[in-house]
Amino acid sequence: MKVTVEQVFEAGVVGAGGAGFPTHVKLSARADTVLINAAECEPLLHKDKEILRDYTDIVLEGLQIAMQLVGAERGVIGIKGKYHDVIEKLERLIPPRVEIVPLPDAYPSGDEFILVYEALGRIIPPGGIPLHVGAVVINVETAFNVAQAASQPVVEKYLTIAGAVKEPVTLRVPVGVTLAECLELAGGATVENPQLMVGGVMMGYLEENPQALVDKTTGGVIVLPEDHIVIRRRRQDWKQIARIGRSACDQCSFCTELCPRWLLGHPIEPHRAMRSLGFNLVGEANVQGTVFCCECNLCSLYSCPEDLDPKNVCAQNKRRILAEKRRWENPPFVPERADRLLKNRRAPTARLMRKLGLTVYPNVGPLVERTVVPRRVGIKLKQHVGAPCEPVVQVGDRVERGQVIGRPPMANGKPALGAPVHASIAGRVSAINDGIIWIERE
């Protein structure tokens, strides 16, 4: 099926892996390779692998459409080599000019900088994007949505519910349902006062409100007890992080030695950033390198033998430097470091899960055909990188499933960066407030 960039925009397709970058912008570029990110390196999450297994044809169609739109001669699917059944199915159906690259079972293999190196042998420079090395990277679910863009907008979301639940599952639910409704489909929590890590234990966030809404970027929910180490670490405030880090960091440099971006040759050295807790080193070049931190959390949750939090120290420095609008021109770049060191310094997922106390939970998430039939949904006007959408409906309007209810604002005669949002159920608009359009089923 032929799909245009305009149809991808109108369908509201955004990156489904977490960031929500509008896909039509990526597909307006020119590149020699389109790379499908099927690495899914967050522990206990399975939705990309499940989509790829159950909807192989549709994902491959989305990949071919993306290749055609960017003029790519080559398509690559990067997936963990341990998923033998999915790879075998792909090998039976793979079209011309598309290849499969098995990836190591390590974290963060799904980081697109690491993925581009592992799958294509190319190193994205500091501050760069995959396009700078001739590649466009899209998520499995994003490719699925691209394939359907001509006929169906993004009104459903796939996500894994795992951890302390009765039945870990991957679900397809309407955009705008609550996390609590999704949790019920997994049989409910198996612990009192369950805590919800949305997006994963490494790069996700702790959501205190079970009535929070699923949007286009919600990739999964890991349920944990309130005394779990991941939850206790997330609840540390900056004052605690700084005080403990200032007193306990011994500058062992493990956080730097295992940092994925440092291993690619980028000028980030978290152990040096830790020095900024005791000294004013924001102007120092090595602390300025924190602007290249991808916030993967490997340094804080895996590398540091003292259980300190270099990631948050880097993030604090990064935000301060960016707020001051200071730019590091021509930062040092040592790409040969990747070939020398990266292979032997990967963080195996099994070891990461043991350290985080996650091996007590089943590491499965089969895609099941059960879903929520919600009484109402809340459609966020901002589910993407860019400007929030503006409502194009009013309270009291009757809307159909798939109808556009919000559009990016116009800027200089064209839509601002963003993507339209659509009604995920038929019903009536009951309220528009706090950046959410509420729709009640009639």
Task: Kindly tell me the number of DSSP H helices and DSSP E strands found in the chain.
Answer: 18, 20
DSSP-assigned states of every residue in 19-36: S--BHHHHTTS--SEEEE
- Distance separating alpha carbons of residues 224 and 170, to the nearest angstrom: 17
Query: Does pLDDT of 256 surpass 70?
Result: yes
Note the pLDDT of residue 40.
92
Note the pLDDT of residue 79.
98
| 300 vs 18: which has the higher pLDDT | 300
List Cα–Cα distances, 356 to 8, 126, 291, 410, in angstroms.
39, 30, 27, 46
Q: Write down the H helix ranges in 136-196.
A: 140-147, 179-185
Note the pLDDT of residue 302.
98
Note the pLDDT of residue 280.
59
pLDDT tens profile 268-324: 999 988 988 877 555 565 578 899 999 999 999 999 999 999 999 999 989 888 888
pTM for the whole structure? 0.96
- Distance separating alpha carbons of residues 288 and 285, to the nearest angstrom: 5
pLDDT tens profile 180-234: 999 999 999 999 999 999 999 999 999 999 999 999 999 999 999 999 999 999 9
The residue among 36, 49, 162 whose CA lies nearest residue 99 is: 36
Which backbone phi and psi does 243 adopt, to 5 degrees? -65, -50
Note the pLDDT of residue 275.
86
| 64 vs 286: which has the higher pLDDT | 64
What is the overall mean pLDDT for the chain? Answer: 95
Taking residues 123-139, what's their average pLDDT?
97
Note the pLDDT of residue 285.
56
List Cα–Cα distances, 411 to 136, 375, 414, in angstroms.
26, 36, 5
- Distance separating alpha carbons of residues 31 and 200, to the nearest angstrom: 30
Let me know: does 282 contact 320? Beta carbons within 8 Å. Answer: yes
Let me know: does 381 contact 12? Beta carbons within 8 Å. Answer: no
Taking residues 58-80, what's their average pLDDT?
98
Helix (H, G, I), strand (E, B) or coil at 40: coil
Note the pLDDT of residue 226.
97
Query: Does pLDDT of 13 surpass 90?
Result: yes
Taking residues 360-385, what's their average pLDDT?
97
- Which of 82-86, 286-290, 302-306, 400-404 has the least mean pLDDT? 286-290
Any bridge partners for residue 74, and if so which? 33
Note the pLDDT of residue 412.
87
pLDDT tens profile 332-361: 999 999 999 999 999 999 999 999 999 999
- Per 3-state DSSP, the chain is made up of helix, strand and coil in percentages (nearest 5) of 35, 20, 45
Q: Which residue has the tokens 């997330």?
A: 234
Query: Does pLDDT of 419 surpass 90?
Result: yes
